[in-house]
Amino acid sequence: MSEQQIYQQLGLVKRAGALITGNDACMTAIRSGKAALAVVARDTGANAMKKYHDKCKSFNVPLIELLDKERLGQAVGKAHSAIVVITDPRFAQRIRQMWRETNGGEAD
């Protein structure tokens, strides 16, 4: 699997209505239990990255770091995006599987 395939999958998730964008909306989804997976851009600032990791860990939401803000945003129809949240567990599982095949690791 490649990041390009994950990029395309994120677009499909968006079209299916199973994706949340925007910092505040994503944090609300994580806190409320609606988040099945958080995807954070690799070039997100250190403070924001720590906040996302800590919040996801507190609420048992898997988190993966992927792409950069510009490419992550483009994948979901935005100019740029530091974080997106996937709400559908099946889509989340598929993206985590693709990410593991690409990176050889487990989501945080």
Mean pLDDT of the chain, nearest integer: 91
| pLDDT value at residue 105 | 62
Q: Which amino acid is at 50?
A: K
**Backbone angles phi and psi of 68, in degrees to 5:** -120, 175
The predicted model scores a pTM of 0.90
DSSP 67: S
For the beta sheet containing 63-65, the strands, ordered from the edge strand earlier in sequence to the opposite edge, are: 19-21, 83-86, 37-40, 63-65
Kindly state the average pLDDT of the residues 89-101: 92
- Give the pairing type, strands 37-40 and 83-86: antiparallel
Domains of the chain: 3-103 (3.30.1330.30)
The backbone region for 91, taken as left when phi is positive above 0, alpha when psi lies in -120 to 50, beta otherwise, is: alpha
Kindly state the average pLDDT of the residues 61-80: 91
